[in-house]
Amino acid sequence: MNNKLYGHLIFELSRPGRKGYSLPANPFGDYTLPSSLRRETDASLPECDEMTVVRHYTNHSANNFGVDNGFYPLGSCTMKYNPVINEETAMHPGFSGLHPLQPASTCQGALEVYSRLQQALSAITGLSEFTLNPFAGAHGELTGLMIIRSYHERRGDHQRMKVIVPDTAHGTNPASAAVCGLEVVEVKSHADGSVDVDDLRGLLDDTVAAMMMTNPNTLGMFEREIPEIARLVHDCGGLMYYDGANLNPLLGACRPGDMGFDVMHINLHKTFSTPHGGGGPGSGPVGVRKGLEHLLPSPRVTFDGQQYDITTDSDALSVGKYLGNFAVIVRAYTYILSLGREHIRMVGPLATLNANYIKESLKDLYLLPIEGLCKHEFVFDGLKDKTTGVTTMDVAKRLLDYGYHAPTIYFPLLFHESLMIEPTESESLDTINGFIEVMRRIAEEAATDPDQVKTAPHNTPIGRVDDVLAAKHPVLTYKQMQQQ
Ligand SMILES: *Cc1c(COP(=O)(O)O)cnc(C)c1O
């Protein structure tokens, strides 16, 4: 690491008159912009030589932790695997060179991929038909709720405005219901995060539009009462919405359509290996059960047995003019094809096995509030020994010293020291054993040398950040920094 280049902003490396570019001669001859369109003073851009720029950004990128550098046991965000073959197919010129307004007759192959992913998702989930239009999980939730709203409205059931959401739900669930103009009603959970069915019974009446659920729930526990819950909600005229952002524990094991769900979304960027995080392009396909297909939004891809077409119906719902993030769709379809029908069945069982193996290997040192078989993820409530003063935050920071990304911390809010671990299906036994060993070593350090853990990280380019200060007074521009 070149320390002189590290820790500086590119602006601080600027020297007047230096440059690393040479522009080609202007083939259009002399042309001067009218003065009304020109700046009065030059933009204050950094002036650097080429190598300074290359090293500056390369060093920064090397300080980033990602799935391609190391183990990433973050819970509730599933996919931490971005296969390189996905990038190759997404970059195919026939896909990457498409124009959104291109006639359907000139992009039959792309539309076939689109349609085949829709079919694969139907087969995997047990729902009848999918739209790939939504751009994210939350966008999928909104789309699904708009479908549900329009279902009730078309039946003249205008009073159905209530959406029941468990108190353990992902924050986007109540937010999407509110954005859709629906009223959020919370249903209580038991200590293990499962829905309190007695509490649910008291909430059901003819104003219920839908119940939104995640199964396995946020604590990684499978909802055993799901057939009864679906029956109760359907009997009162409501629909069942499934939040399938993290579908991998179910792949090959069971299907939301068979559990009684009517509408669902999937995050391709969590379950089907498309890159995730940093606000990058996402995709939140929405599926509906048989009988609700006509409510899916327009535009849609259709097939008459010979030709694919893009159809637009001005009376239908719309959540955007285009057909979603196509490069993400290509990646997800590549992943599904790479596994194939046979191997995709292994995803759920392997994700479950890996999570349980870690849980059982660490529960003598970390406090396990909910015993029993988990699915793809589980939650510890900090270290078991509460006398050391070492918190979940300290453990997370110390993991960085050993080259591991931290698990999800302080979520869910059910426990004070939540440490939510999800290994996923794609890690080797050696990697998982390495993580277990480091977690055990940190627990030992907490007992013998707690200060070492409490002051971590020690090996990262930046030590412990004051996250309250960073959140309350973020310094986001260079100018502000100069003034301070
Ligand atoms: C991530 C997530 C969402 C939201 O997905 P975005 O693509 O981030 O909008 C919804 N529900 C659950 C359970 C999630 O984990």
Query: 57 CB contacts (<8 Å, ≥6 apart)?
Result: none
Span 403-462, pLDDT tens digits: 999 999 998 888 999 999 999 999 999 999 999 999 999 999 999 999 999 999 999 888
Tokens of 452: 């070492």
Q: How far is it, in rounded angstroms, from Cα 269 to Cα 342? A: 22
The reported pLDDT for the residue numbered 76 is 79
Nearest protein CA to atom 7 of ligand 1, as residue: 137
Confirm or reject: Cβ of 136 under 6 Å from ligand 1.
Answer: yes
* pLDDT tens string 318-368: 998 889 999 999 999 999 999 999 999 999 999 999 999 999 999 999 999
What pLDDT does 191 receive? 81
Distance CA 479, CA 484 (A): 9
How many C-beta neighbours within 10 Å does residue 366 have? 25
| Cα 230 to middle of ligand 1, angstroms | 22
Q: Do strands 286-288 and 129-131 pair parallel, antiparallel, or not at all (unpaired)?
A: antiparallel
Mean predicted lDDT score pLDDT of the chain: 92
Residue 138 CB less than 6 A away from ligand 1: yes
Whether ligand 1 lies within 6 angstroms of the CB of 176 is answered as no
Q: What is the pLDDT of residue 278?
A: 61
Q: Give the number of the atom of ligand 1 that is nearest the alpha carbon of residue 136.
A: 7
Instruction: Kindly state the percentage of the chain with pLDDT values over 90.
Output: 73
Q: Find out whether 120 and 334 touch, Cβ atoms under 8 Å.
A: no
Region 81-96: what's the mean pLDDT?
Answer: 94
Average pLDDT over residues 22-32: 83
273 CB less than 6 Å from ligand 1? Answer: no
Of 390, 397, 375, 388, nearest to 465 (Cα)? Answer: 397
214 C-beta closer than 6 A to ligand 1: yes
Token representation of residue 311: 């159809």
282 lines ligand 1 (CB under 6 A): yes
Best CA proximity match to 397, nearest among 342, 458, 317: 458
Contact 411, 352 (CB under 8 A): no
Ligand 1 site, residue 350, Cβ cutoff 6 A: no
Residue 2's pLDDT is: 45
Split at pLDDT 50, 70, 90, the class of 277 is low
Residue 277 or 13, more confident = 13
For Cα atoms 459, 463, 469, give the angle at the middle one, nearest 5 degrees: 160
For ligand 1, say whether the CB of 331 is within 6 Å of any of its atoms.
Answer: no
Q: Would you state the pLDDT for residue 53?
A: 94
Is the shortest distance between the CB of 76 and ligand 1 below 6 Å?
Answer: yes
Check residue 1 and give its pLDDT.
Answer: 43
Q: Is 137 in the pocket of ligand 1 (CB under 6 A)?
A: yes
422 lines ligand 1 (CB under 6 A): no
Q: How far does residue 76's CA lie from ligand 1's centre (Å)? A: 8
Tokens for 440, please give them.
């055990």
Q: Which of 76, 270, 408 to mutate to test the pocket of ligand 1 (most atoms within 8 A of CB)?
A: 270
- Strand 263-266 to strand 239-244: parallel, antiparallel, or no bridges (unpaired)? parallel
pLDDT band at 280 (very low <50, low <70, confident <90, very high): low
Is the distance from the beta carbon of residue 243 to the nearest atom of ligand 1 less than 6 Å?
yes
pLDDT the model gives residue 6: 56
Residue nearest to atom 14 of ligand 1 (CA): 245
The answer to whether the CB of 58 falls within 8 A of the CB of 25 is no
Please indicate whether residue 283, judged by its CB atom, sits closer than 6 Å to ligand 1. no
What per-residue confidence (pLDDT) applies to 382?
Answer: 98
- How many A from CA of 128 to the centre of ligand 1? 22
pLDDT at residue 423, as a whole number: 93
Arithmetic mean of pLDDT, 378-383: 96
Q: Can you tell me the distance from the alpha carbon of 288 to that of 6, in angstroms, rounded to the nearest whole number?
A: 51
Residue with the nearest Cα to atom 5 of ligand 1? 137
Query: What's the pLDDT band for 25 if we cut at 50, 70, 90?
Result: confident
pLDDT tops 90 at residue 65: no
Residue 31: band (very low, low, confident or very high) from pLDDT cuts 50, 70, 90: confident
Segment 125-143 mean pLDDT: 97
pLDDT the model gives residue 484: 37
Instruction: Say if CB 390 and CB 446 are below 8 A apart.
Output: yes
Read off the pLDDT band of 474 (50, 70, 90): confident
Counting ligand 1 atoms within 8 A of each CB, the residue from 76, 77, 142, 243 with the most, and so the one to mutate, is 243
The crossing angle, in degrees rounded to 10, of helices 172-179 and 137-154 is: 50
CA of 243 to the centre of ligand 1 (A): 8
Measured in residues, the chain has a length of 484
Q: Decide if 264 contacts 289 (C-beta within 8 A).
A: no
From 170, 214, 268, the mutation candidate for ligand 1 (largest count of ligand atoms within 8 A of CB) is 170
Return the ligand 1 atom nearest residue 172 CA: 10
Q: Of 27 and 243, which is predicted with more confidence?
A: 243
* pLDDT single digits (tens) 169-221: 888 999 999 999 999 999 999 887 889 999 999 999 999 999 999 998 878 88
| pLDDT above 70: percentage of residues in the chain | 96
Ligand 1 midpoint to CA 43 (Å): 40
